[in-house]
Amino acid sequence: MSLVIARSVPKRNDSSQGSNPLTVSDIEKKTVIVTQHPAGACADDTAVSTSSDSRRSWFRRSKACDPNAIATQPSVYDDPELAEEYKPRPDWEGIHRFDPAARWTWAEENKIVRKLDTRIVLWACVMITALELDKSNIQQANADNFLTDLHLNRDDYNLGNTLYRLCYLLSEIPTQIICKKIGADRWLPIQMVSWSIVAGCQFWLTNRESFLVCRALIGIMSGGFTPAVSGSMNVILYLSYFYKHHELSIRLGYWYAASSLADILAGFLAFGILHIGGRAGEAGWRWLFLIEGLMTLTLGLLSFVLLPPSPTQTAHWARGKKGWFTAREETIMVNRIIREDPSKGSMHNRQPLTAKLLWMSIKDYDLWPLYIIGVMFLTPWTTISQYFTLQMKDFGFNTFNTVLLAIPSNVLQIVTRILITYAGEMFGSLALMGVLAQLWCLPLMIYMNAGDLSRTNKWVVWTVLTLLQGFPNTHALQAGWVSRNSNSVRTRAIAAAMYNMAVQLSAIIASNVYQDWDAPRYVVGNRVLLALISTNIVLYLATKAYYMLRNRQRDCKWNAMTEDQRVDYVATTKDEGNRRMDFRFAH
């Protein structure tokens, strides 16, 4: 997201300011909130950084970066006439550390970010690993005659996946509302414990009905978990308390990559656990469900004490009576976040969402293009992923080879996912990264449509399917994209849920592309996937064009206003979130 300035910059005599003044168009290209100071607004002891950190990462650090230089970024809080209008609400959890005059160095900020990575992101990655184990171990179970033992066919398998995704989708918004009411630090562990119990109980599956009930219950109990950690409600919401927008996208890249790491771990675990099949007269896939369910239950219980509510609320008997951060560190964390995005101070972390706020978020049509992308972009990958083990069995690989052959694609996806996330921040083009990811899949899907895979060497088929599963997944970039273009905690919370609902709808579609009557070549199914990939390319380009047009329309209105009119607008407007005239969409 970006917020354009309300006043121009008076010329100053010092050389650091005079040669390269920022323009509105310059600022629009940034992903941070930037304002410029009137003459005399800052003395030397309160100066802010002259360099933006909007895309700081390991490959973009300035060679001349001075760790002792001021890192505090320019903000609306540096203008006395605007600061009061953007002040956080009095009950915001970080208000006691809010200080517009606070200044800190790059060395201090980088140290804090590293501490956040080890204390917050690392455990978030552990949590998504737990979800992925219980969500996808059914694919390893398929390699061990799971469907045959329960007298199920592939259409029953599709129905189970559909029910899981549908229940996950329908529980998104309710769980987001609960999460915002009681806090992500409490709700996330409750979810983990709940679904892990059901996942472990799959040990006692007996028939089609019990299979479908368990899939539905796991969907209900895990719904909303993904947007919670990373957006503005559960995980995505939770991480947004600690990170700036560009930092969030990159951390989400690692967070979602952890799900691929979980698939690798699941492969090795399944290889070992399936070998104990026959113990107590039970099949290996039953032990797989039970053991991995107990593992997730343990992690869920640990999450109750390892997740702090916010950067200023880390003190706890399990985390230390003094908490993880000093008062100075808390001041830096709070002010670096709020200076970049003042909207994060508009709601506190225990404030519930009302029906009115919910409706305002749902009817925000400027986010609909991202929801449409969410419905479409993952469908080809999800279809291939859900059927990978079944297809490997069709082509003659045995149970244990099938489990191990799924691992390389997960390794490849970790690499490509992280690379495309960094590339999105490096080049500042989110939509074009989505196009690039679809272009990865296009020639592979053309090959699957042009050839007869039933007559192709099985190792060639494995290579093609592995490359398809390893495509550069832009889910992390797009979750951050939704967060940026929301511009308020209220909208960001529901937008995260809406986007993830769209992704779950995509999975429902994907679960029904391949049909039992179309096996083993899936001629019709592969044609559908090819059409979807082609459509996705057009969707990304159209979305970029839409946001560019919306920004241009606002530029015309904004530039037609005088400086006094702009300041008056900021002070008196009733526009909220991305409806504000001074907001510009990321694309």
> Measuring CA to CA, how many Å separate 169 from each of 13, 116, 163, 347, 508?
58, 30, 10, 25, 9
Instruction: State the sign of the Cα–Cα–Cα–Cα dihedral 407, 411, 416, 418.
Output: positive
**What pLDDT was estimated at residue 345?**
65
DSSP-derived letter for residue 120 is I
∠ CA(304), CA(309), CA(311), 5° rounding? 130
Instruction: State the number of CA atoms in the 13 A half-sphere of 441 facing the CB.
Output: 30
pLDDT in tens, the chain (587 residues): 455 655 554 444 443 333 333 333 332 333 333 333 333 333 334 566 655 554 444 444 444 567 888 888 878 788 777 777 777 878 777 788 888 888 888 888 888 888 888 888 888 788 878 777 777 788 888 888 888 889 988 889 889 888 888 888 888 778 777 777 777 778 888 888 988 899 889 999 989 999 999 999 988 887 756 543 333 345 666 777 787 777 777 777 777 777 778 778 888 888 888 888 778 888 888 999 999 889 889 988 988 888 887 778 888 887 778 888 888 888 888 888 888 777 776 655 555 556 666 677 777 888 899 999 988 998 888 888 888 888 887 887 877 788 788 888 888 888 888 888 888 877 878 889 999 999 999 999 999 898 777 788 889 889 999 999 888 888 878 877 887 787 665 666 677 777 877 887 888 888 888 888 887 788 898 999 999 999 999 999 999 999 999 889 888 888 888 888 887 787 777 777 777 777 888 88
**What pLDDT was estimated at residue 62?**
45
Euclidean distance between CA atoms 10 and 42, whole angstroms? 13
**What pLDDT was estimated at residue 59?**
43
Among residues 162, 225, 157, 216, which one has the least CA distance to residue 188? 225
Euclidean distance between CA atoms 274 and 285, whole angstroms? 6
**What pLDDT was estimated at residue 231?**
36
Domain spanning 110-546: which CATH class is it, in words?
Answer: mainly alpha
- pTM here is 0.65
Element (H, E) at 356: helix 355-362
Structural domain boundaries in the chain: 110-546
List phi, psi (to 5°) of 212.
Answer: -65, -40
Residue written as token pair 């409706």: 359
Give 141-187 as a 3 state SS string. Answer: HHCCCHHHHCCCCHHHHHHHHHHHHHHHHHCHHHHHHHHHHHCHHHH
Euclidean distance between CA atoms 372 and 361, whole angstroms? 16
Euclidean distance between CA atoms 208 and 205, whole angstroms? 8
Residue written as token pair 């529901």: 494
Euclidean distance between CA atoms 241 and 457, whole angstroms? 51
